Amino acid sequence: MITEKACAKLNISLDVSKPRPDGYHDMIMVMQAVSLCDDIEIEINSSGKVFAKSNLKYIPSDEKNLAVKAAGLYFEALDNRSAGAVISIRKAIPVGAGMAGGSTDAAAVIRALNRYYGNALSPEELLKVAERTGSDVPFCVLGGTALAEGRGEILTSLPEIPECTFVICKPEFSISTPELFKALDRIKLRSHPDTAGIISALENGDLKQICRRLYNVFEDVPDRRMRTVTEIKQKLLSGGAEGAVMTGTGSAVFGIFTDAEEAYAVCSQLEKDYGFCVCAEPVGKQI
Ligand code: C5P
């Protein structure tokens, strides 16, 4: 039995370019791995088949689950046709939240299998398997703080974010990723994140300057659900957050706090208001 933690990701910033011929969009994102995580257990067998089980009933057990797809692609990269696995996923990361929950389970499977097989694949080869699995999977394999470009597969590790507490709140609704990309294509963006400014603030270890630049272009989509996003951001800021922003295509919103006690106080209030709110810390590089 092998075990691995699957950390959630947050977008410190998220910028989107025009649609590409393949239907995807080029992105420029500063990503952060955090301590909110799913727990993965893998039993390897020689059935040649992979399936998943989870504490949540609606998590698929077949290839529709990125964790199953990742294991299949990992075995394929090893040219091992007889290897099979049963993957148990204990979900703590909310689904449909913009925190790469499915992608990070897949990433944890890739790291865990590589450990089991004595680091048979190099970090570069692992990232290739991740890229074939899905757009957010390469960052989730790498972890830490990183710049992600292209579909998310072009990664540059950045200096770790200074010590802080994240308060992550998810309202009850979820937002469909393809739907939000389509809505974004129909509007002209008002503004873009200052990615270079975030990178230099990370280099200087200046948390205040990072927090001032939190920005996600998806918040500009005219959608009434963004009113709730704005409302949560305001509550985080009035509770003492240095900055607040939606992550990915939502619906989760997070604030960054320097004072952990303030963070815990806001967190328990927002949990009452919206149903899901947790505190988390930054997590460093995984490979
Ligand atoms: O990567 P994932 O399968 O989660 O993406 C879901 C959908 O979101 C894609 O089919 C595409 O419509 C949109 N997407 C995009 N550009 C990206 C990532 C996702 O247009 N970089």
pLDDT digits (tens, 9 = 90+) for 65-94: 999 999 999 999 999 999 999 999 999 999
Using most ligand atoms within 8 A of CB, pick from 135, 149, 217 the residue to mutate for ligand 1. 135
Distance, CA of 133 to CA of 136 (rounded, Å):
9
Q: How many Å lie between the centroid of ligand 1 and the Cα of residue 124?
A: 23
Atom 19, ligand 1: residue with shortest CA distance: 24
Return the pLDDT at 190. Answer: 87
Q: Which of 15, 38, 105, 136 is catalytic?
A: 136
Q: What is the average pLDDT value for the chain, to the nearest integer?
A: 97
Query: What residues have CB less than 8 Å from 202, skipping those under 6 apart?
Result: 30, 145, 158, 159, 160, 161, 210
Distance, CA of 67 to CA of 199 (rounded, Å):
31
pLDDT, one tens digit per residue, over 129-154 is 999 999 999 999 999 999 999 999 99
Return the pLDDT at 224. Answer: 96
Query: Considering the entire predicted model, what is its pTM?
Result: 0.97
Q: How many Å lie between the centroid of ligand 1 and the Cα of residue 98?
A: 12
Distance, CA of 244 to CA of 165 (rounded, Å):
12
Distance, CA of 222 to CA of 225 (rounded, Å):
9
pLDDT, one tens digit per residue, over 88-122 is 999 999 999 999 999 999 999 999 999 999 999 99
Residue that the structure tokens 């992600």 belong to: 148
> Which residues surround ligand 1 with Cβ inside 6 Å?
23-25, 27, 134-135, 151, 177-178, 181
pLDDT tops 90 at residue 18? no
Distance, CA of 190 to CA of 25 (rounded, Å):
18
Q: What single-letter DSSP state applies at residue 135?
A: T
Q: How many Å lie between the centroid of ligand 1 and the Cα of residue 189?
A: 19
Q: In the structure, what pLDDT confidence band is assigned to residue 222 with cuts at 50, 70 and 90?
A: very high
Residue type, 181: F
Distance, CA of 136 to CA of 248 (rounded, Å):
10
